[in-house]
Amino acid sequence: MTSSKRVNHPFFFHRITSVWYRHMRVYTKNLITNGFPPFLEPLIFLSAIGLGLGKYVTEMGGIPYIKFLASGLLVTAAMFTAAFECSYGTYIRLEFEKAYNGMLAAPITVNDLLMGEILWAGTKGLFFSTAVLTVISIFGILSVQLFLVVPILGFLTGMMFAAISLLVTSFVRDINQFNFYFTGFISPMFFFSGVVFSLDNLPSFMKVVAEVLPLTHVVRLVRACCLTGFSNWVFFDLGYIVALTGGIGFFAIRRLKRRLID
């Protein structure tokens, strides 16, 4: 007579955080080289663009230009780091390092693995936004009270662009193809989502395009928290972020699941 033992699988939260923990350990092995640039980049950008251009453009939309620019940089840092993490980073782990093969040998599913990827990218978004806010608040550009809300917006931004980047990765068959993603989508979005200049001055058809771009909604949210105050747009922007992250994330995981299983 044989007896069967019941296998106790880890809880869902433990499974996805184990993926997060693995990425965190890898990232912190080179903490200085990985963690220092988020503090240095906003300082360079604000010095070069904000202080230089600020002599000619004193205000933007009734807001001092240095504050206008600084508030936008809070979430663009989260966008760039999440986009790189779940495009180049995911592709390298998938195709070159074969890291996912070993991770899937543990009691986790492909869904757990990819949701852990999104969670990790969201955490990096939180860290990068907080790093930028730290630099900005030291110079007195924005209030330190924003430490209560900006990390949350950085996390949401990271999650959203992680989902988008995973979907792009599911189509990519050569790492050089990511050049189209960053040159044709991520970089232009930086300039047409209200980060550097106000969308009010754009032609009508460009305003419609800007409303489709994901970065527009997190920029408007962070600016509402930092400078302009809340309006009905806040609920629309939050709904857009949640819906896009959930919808794109679902299709990205579905496509990458087939690729990982094959």
CA distance 105 to 69: 46
- Show pLDDT as tens, one digit a residue, over the chain (262 residues): 444 444 456 787 889 999 999 999 999 998 888 888 888 888 788 777 766 776 777 788 788 888 888 889 999 999 999 999 999 999 999 999 999 988 888 889 999 999 999 999 999 999 999 999 998 888 888 877 788 899 999 999 999 999 999 999 999 999 999 999 999 999 999 989 999 888 887 888 898 999 999 999 999 999 988 876 777 778 899 999 999 999 999 999 999 998 888 6
pLDDT for position 6: 46
Query: CA-to-CA distance for 20 and 22, rounded, in angstroms?
Result: 5
pTM over 0.95: no
Burial of 17 (0-12, 13-18, 19+ CB in 10 A): middle
Residues in contact with 238: Cβ distance below 8 Å, sequence separation at least 6, in sequence order? 221
User: What pLDDT shows up at residue 54?
Assistant: 66
Would 25 be classed as within a structural domain? no
Structure tokens at 204: 């009508």
Residue 96, classed as helix, strand or coil, is: helix
Which residues fall within 8 angstroms of residue 116, CB to CB, at 6 or more apart?
A: 15, 16, 17, 18, 19, 20, 23, 108
Q: What is the pLDDT of residue 34?
A: 87
> Does any domain span residue 48?
no
Q: Are strands 59-60 and 63-64 parallel, antiparallel or unpaired?
A: antiparallel
Q: 22 burial class (0-12, 13-18, 19+ CB within 10 angstroms)?
A: middle
- Looking at residue 63, what DSSP letter applies? E
Asked whether residue 78 is assigned to any structural domain, the reply reads yes
In a domain, 12, yes or no: no
State the burial class of residue 97 (Cβ atoms within 10 Å of its Cβ: 0-12, 13-18, 19+).
Answer: exposed
Instruction: Categorise residue 178: left if φ over 0, alpha if ψ from -120 to 50, beta otherwise.
Output: alpha
Residue 37 lies in a domain: no
Q: How far apart are CA 153 and CA 10, in angstroms?
A: 30
What is the per-residue pLDDT for 228?
A: 66
Whether residue 114 contacts residue 253, with contact meaning beta carbons closer than 8 Å, is answered with: yes
Residue 29 in domain: no
- Whether residue 53 lies inside any domain: the answer is no
Count of domains in the chain?
Answer: 1
Residue 123 domain boundaries: 60-261
